[in-house]
Each structure stands twice: as structure tokens, then as C-alpha cells.
Structure 1
Amino acid sequence: MMTNAVDQQSAQGGAPASSVRLPLRPELADEEPYGAPQLDVPVLLNVNENPYPPGEDVVATIAEEVARAARGMNRYPDRDATVLRQDLADYLEMETGVHLAPFDVWAANGSNEVMLHVLQAFGGPGRTALSFAPTYSMYPEYARDTHTTWVVGRREDDFTLDPAHAAATIREVRPSVILLASPNNPTGTALPTATIEAVCEAALTVDIDGARPVVVVDEAYAEFRRPGTPSAVALLERYPNLAVSRTMSKAFAAAGARLGYLVASTAFVDALRIVRLPYHLSAITQAAAGAALRHRESLMAQVATLRAERDATVTWLRKQHLPDGSPFEVAETDANFVLFGRFGDRHAVWQGLLDRGVLIRETGPEGWLRVSIGTSAEMAAFRAALTEVLHEQGEESA
């Protein structure tokens, strides 16, 4: 029916649908949608998911709460997610020891939407967002989509952030939004408290139309940090322009639920409420996230297992050698993934692993690859496949 309609339109003088140009924004003309490969292979280690599905007790609680929410789906959800925000405040207080009120917490469909709200509220035409590369590849897309100028400073060779360089860059660029990932994606690097303090202090010296830039510390992988690694949540009381974002996708094994959140001053959160779409967070999502939070202790037990597997993976990778005999470089990581390299042809290594049923991520600086931490069986498969690929490449170069 559609083909006939188009043909009839053409016969009457209208243009065929395939020849009509749509008024796409010029800066989007050559862009591709964001997304890591989603391939059907036995071992998926490319998008930093938690490899352990929720236990049956967690599933039962989620099903019960979702069923309760479904019975009222003819009504709009609580547009401010007040119950969920209280649950999130309670969780963060338990984890960090910092008392938080529910109106200091914001929740949205993944930390991606949280970040987009930040750029919608504090970015825009004539304003600049700043981060330090290499870092999360979605940040420039949030800036692009909100007509915010995107600028990156540099990280050091070991992917740490030099406080003096960061402060100087802030004073030079004068951004309205500063984005810091800690642990950083794709490197896994956590920021010391002193570095975050230096960034916040530098931001207080910059005037943006009589205001100060906002600093957002993205702690999507915070629960995977090694013992003693601090959270920026402890700095919120000192810096009213600071916010800390988190997600339930990773540690809570809830990537499919799409729930991210942010904690900041009430004024900061109220600014995000202005730009959010009406009823942006469904009743189903709110119910599922609240149910998962009730099982935080059992879910966090899985995190300890993943930390141990990560550390074992780092140790193993540091014992491996490239075909030329040089040892791997492996980044220090406080996340549930490991960045390693440097390969002369990283794509060939990535493809070799894929040919053996193991999918990792070709991301980050040139020559590096990133592997998410999976189950012990998945990591054994990764090690076996990588050993085969390196042996094969060694024979080819001999």
C-alpha cells in the first residue's frame, strides 16, 4: 500500500519519498547513532554490563512491585519520583556516610538522560562544556545535541589528571559545565579527592554571567572502586556547584531498567526539573528500581566477586607480551573493565577475539582495547582466545 501511494504521488507531480531531503541539522549530517556492537556471540565483554543476572529473590520482588504499578498504569506516574529519590538518598547515605535529603537527588532514564538534563540546563548556545580526554565518548554528543561548544583538555600518559593543568584549562576555557568521570571510562582511572577539589576551586574563580560553572563527577562505576578510593559525594556540602551522578546499570545488574541518578544541592536539582520532559520516568521504571534497591546487600556481594576478577585480569594481562616481545600496557582501574594495549593493529586483535566468540570493545586511545569483566568462565574464555590471537600474530610476524 505504501509503494502504491508513493507511485501515485509521483504520477500526480509530487516527489517520490526517496528523493525528498529532510531538514536535518547541518552538524548532524554525517553523524552515526551512538552504540557499541550488539552481536550474538558466546562471550559478551564489550559494554561493561554486570554479567550476573538478578537472583530469583530480586526478580520476585521486582515482579511484585511492577505488577502493583501496572494496576495503576491508566494514571500518570509520580512526575518527581519522590519515593524512589528517598530510596536513592538512603542508599547513598549508607554507602558514603553523607546525609542526603530526597530533594537533593534526581533520577532519570539512565545516567545518559541525567547528563543530558545537565547540558540542557547549564549548557546551550554560547556556552562551553569541558572534559579531559580520553573519557566517555557520549559527552561530546550531549554537548552537540544541546548546541554547547565541546572542549577537551588532556590527561597524562597514565590517564591521571594533573590538577594544575585542569585548573589552568578551566580558567582559560571558562566553561559553564565541567564533566569528570571517576572512575573514568574507558581507562578506569579514579580521581583523588585533591584533584576534584582543585577543579571545584578553579571553577569558583570563573564568572559565567554572574554565576559559577557546574562540576559533575560521573561515578557510574563507583561501586567497583578499590577500598579507600573516595567518592565525590563527601564534597557536596563544600561546593554547591558540584554534582555527582551514578547509575543502577552496573553494580545493581539493572542495565535493562535504565535508571540513573544525580545528587547535588536542591537548587541544582531544581534546575534539572525545569528541563525534564513531563512524567519522564515511568511508573514501571520507578517500581523496578525501588525493588532492586531493597536487595542492595545481595547485589553488592556480586560486586566484590567482580572486583576480584578484575584484579586477577589486570595481573594476568601484565604478564602477557605483544608479538614484538614488549609487555602489555595495562591501565590502573577502579571500574569493572580493563584497558590494555598498545597494539600495532588493535582491530586485528579485536577481530581475532570475535572470530573466537569473544566480543570486547575497540575504544579509547589508538592501540588500546577494553575488556569488561565477566564471569570466571567468560574471563577464562577471553584469556584463551587472546592467547591464541597473540600466538597467531606472532607466527605471522616471524
Structure 2
Amino acid sequence: MTTSTPLRTTLIGVALAATALLPLQGTAFAGQNDRVDSAATPVSSVAGIEDATARSLAVALTDPAWGRQVRDAALAADSVDLRALTRTSTTVAGARLAPQVAAADRGVRAAKGLGGRVGSLLRVGLADASMKASLKGGVAPLVAAAPSDDDASTFTAYDSAGTAHELSLAAAPDRPVYLVDVDGAKAVTEGLKVVNEALEAKGLQVPVPAARLNVAAPAAAEGIDTTLINSVRLSDDKEPWIKGDAEIFTLVTGFGKDGTPRVDTVEMPYLNNDDTTYYPNQILVNWSNYKYEMADAVMMEDDGDTNYQALAKAIVTALLTITDQGVYIPLADALLDAIPTSWWTDDPDYVDSWYTLAKATTGTRNGAAANGWMNVSPYHVAAL
């Protein structure tokens, strides 16, 4: 479900020659919030960690008491915190599994470039709500990890003997399947904090004081001018059915008041499904942060192995090479070029981009990749 090769080639272009970036998968840059985690747990691919955890969980289901606890949890909620489930379990298998799940969770945090403040990320639940009936009926469940390849036609699930079964991604199987996955919403929220901190540290997101710009500060009573998303729709959210809701975020780029490239992150937690129109009334651009009355927007989706520290490093490395020429130039291509081609397989998937959104832009704008559209309008936020 990734972008086609010709389109991807056009959008990515040639990676910036000056960048020496480590790949997202299996890499994390040490940061103050994850020093303990990375020291205790080797960094590994999120997909690999999920797969190993799924197999161990499947084998543990031979304990009838633990099997009932997992079944009851899966029937009561869409997904539950796997670390909390094992840590509080009074069953033999659950207690034995707890240290492995805790280590796996630390590995996931490290692989995604997140610190301990994010808490536990691994979750487990039925892969599809349609499986509840067969689970209630006593059909023995399989356990799978979310597939790491968007182009895959099958995924691997394990039975209680640890035997692997290849199942089709075309439709949900009749047999119940527990899915081990990452809490995407929590990961995006914390991940964008990591990106924002890196951008702020390099001056790519900090508002410049008016005194440094030699211009008068606007009166507080004037408020701010923004661009509002009235409605938005995607044709393909880059997420197969087994992974559930998409985790969409947008990077807004332009030149800050001091002429330095600027990136603002925008979470879109409501944008869960493709072929669905959403009406968020969400602010996309705060024009008080930008020198020119134009900006670009690049929409992406977190696909499991996204390492936010590496993503931030890529953005910073690319944009700090660009200088203000006195006229607006699009920055979306520079941002996309900074992401190596290898990152486009189950990492932050490119969804679509909108070039030269003007302060006065109103109405429906189709994305450059023809994968979505947004209806936007100017919106003035008055000061209190």
C-alpha cells in the first residue's frame, strides 16, 4: 500500500549528498530521555521485537489460566497494555512472560528514539472485531505481530506450539488472531515532542524575539492569522486492515521570521481511515511564525519502525543547508529528499503534500500525489 515507484522516485529525488544519516530501522540516537533504556536494551527493529513477543505470547497461552486472562482482556477492549497485563498477572505463564515483555518494551522505545517518559508501548488485542464471536466460541487463537511490509500479501501468526502460519492480508481470517502492536497514538504524540525539541534546539521552531528582527511586535489584541482545515480526505492512508487506525501527522514548512527554515508539527489523531471525510476545524498553519505568506505541508503516517530522533536529525540536517534568498521557495522537496529511500518501507510513510499554501488560500486543494485533499480557509484567532 505504499506509493508507486515512479511517483516515489519523483518525490524523493536525489538524497542530499551532505547528509550521513543512519537508517531508522534498528537505530536510535542517544538522547537525555532514553539513556537508561538504550544502555539496558540493544536497539533492534520494532517489527522484529513485535514478532518475537508474539511468538512468546502464543506459546504462553498453553497455560489455561493465562489464556483466559488474555481472552477476557481482548473481549473487554480493542487492545490492552501488554506490559501491564503481564505485570499484574497472577498466573504462572503471565508472570514468566513479564520480564520479557518489559525488555521488549524498552527495546521498542529505543528503536523508535523515545525515552522512558512515554511509558509502555506494546499492546495486544484482537486483530479485527469480527473475531470476537469465534473467540467466545472457544476457537484457539493465533498470535501475530503487525506486518512490517506494506506491500506484503500475507502475515505470520503463531499457534501455542510456536508453529508459524501464513495468513492472507486480503481479508480477516475466521480464526481469532491476537495482534501485538505498538500504541501508535502514544508513539506519535511523544515522537513529535522529540522532533520539536530537536527543531527548537537548532532554531528551526523557536519564535524569534521582535527585538532581534528589528521590527515592532504586533499588539497582543490583534490575535493571530491562521489557515484552518475545514475538511480532509485520503484515498489511501498507507495502513492495511490488520494495523487498524492510521497515525497521521503533518510537517508544515516555511521560513521563520528570521529567515531560517522552520518546521511545525501537526498531529491528526482523528484521521483514522481512508475514503472517509473528516471535519476537524483544525489549525494547520499559524502565520505569525512565518516570514512569507506561503508554506508547504507534508503529510506522513507512522508505520511502526519510525525512529523520531533519526527523523528529526534528517530534517535538521537538510533544512540547515538552506538560506533565505529574499523570496519564498518551497521546502517540501528538501524535507522529502532528506529521507533515504530505505526509510519508505514501513517507516514514516509519505501520504501526500501541499505546496505553496498561501495565507489567503481558501477552498479545496488536492495533494501533489493525488492521494488526498484538504478544504482550507483563512481564520483569524482573536486575542482575549
What TM-score range do you get, normalising by the shorter chain? under 0.3
Higher helix share: 1
- Give the TM-score normalised by the residue count of structure 1: 0.24
